[in-house]
Amino acid sequence: MRDVELRKSLEAERGLFLAEGEKVIRRAIGAGYPIRSVLTTERWLSSLADVLGDATVYVTGDEVMAGIAGFPVHRGAMASMARLPLPPVDKLTGLRRLLVLEDLVDHGNVGAIFRCAAALGVEGVILSPRCADPLYRRSVKVSMGAVFSIPYARMSDWFDGLDQLRKAGFQTLALTPDQQVTPIDQVELGDRVALLLGSEGDGLSSHWLAEADVPVCIPMSATAMAAGVDSLNVVAAAAIACHDLMRAS
């Protein structure tokens, strides 16, 4: 539970993930993820009883719960869930608004971007091969279960990964902090749009920037630029860009 590297390797390999808190557990079950077992305290048991079915339930005290989890679990329960098979990328190409995440490695950022996408009407997310796992514990927690409500797929080939989207008729927009490119709110959006977001440090790779149809930016104020604030973090940028994608959806 507290060994990050061990959990990252074992969870995907063994087809499981953890859901924390009543709301997230309910959303996972509602999305069709099979529940394997639950660890909870006495005071939270009754609130989950209607959805647990015949799952194995371990009931313990707050102190033991915190010792296992590594911190006080204020939401009272943790569930071990079975993963569902990921669809291939082409199963998402019938949608109209997609996010494509290139090599985001922070699980919290991935979870937060899924939450932005769910709130603002984006229909699906495609991950590059090296992108962080949306079902990792922190991703699920930060997303508040939004990772269960949006279909996502993982590319098998980073280098030619955008070709499949182009062939499906997607206009690909590459979000960059470069203020010399077209502001995103001035782009004429096509019927199908895929917005590309790059890694936390370096942003999009030069290859994906070159492969995209249109590089776009979020305009920064002159005052901010003068003060050396020339970009937003990837989650804030994703939220603004997702909102803008909806103007012609």
pLDDT above 70 (res 1): no
Question: What are the tens digits of pLDDT across the range 93-114?
Answer: 999 999 999 999 999 999 999 9
Rounded to the nearest integer, the mean pLDDT of the chain is 90
Residues 6+ apart with CB under 8 A from 239: 116, 120
pLDDT above 70 (res 41): yes
Annotated domain spans of the chain = 4-82, 89-248
pTM > 0.95: yes or no = no
Across 3-55, the runs of DSSP E, i.e. the strands, are 16-20, 35-41
Report the alpha-carbon distance of residue 233 to residue 210 in Å, rounded.
22
Contact 130, 105 (CB under 8 A): yes
Question: What are the tens digits of pLDDT across the range 120-154?
Answer: 999 999 999 999 999 998 899 899 999 999 999 99
Which two structure tokens, joined as six digits, stand for 77?
């329960």
pLDDT of residue 4: 72
Ranges of H-type helices in 174-229: 206-211, 222-226
Residues 6+ apart with CB under 8 A from 186: none
Scanning the structure block, which residue is given the tokens 């995209």?
212
Report the alpha-carbon distance of residue 128 to residue 105 in Å, rounded.
11
Exposure on the CB side of residue 201, measured as CA atoms within 13 A: 3
Which two structure tokens, joined as six digits, stand for 2?
């507290």
Report the alpha-carbon distance of residue 99 to residue 93 in Å, rounded.
12
3-state secondary structure of 59: strand
Report the alpha-carbon distance of residue 111 to residue 107 in Å, rounded.
6
pLDDT above 90 (res 224): no
3-state secondary structure of 139: helix
Contact 170, 93 (CB under 8 A): yes
Contact 114, 148 (CB under 8 A): no
pLDDT of residue 11: 80
Higher per-residue pLDDT: 10 or 168: 168
pLDDT of residue 72: 66
- Domain 89-248 class, CATH top level: alpha beta
Q: What is the mean pLDDT of residues 61-73?
A: 77
Is CATH 3.30.1330.30 correct for 4-82? Answer: yes
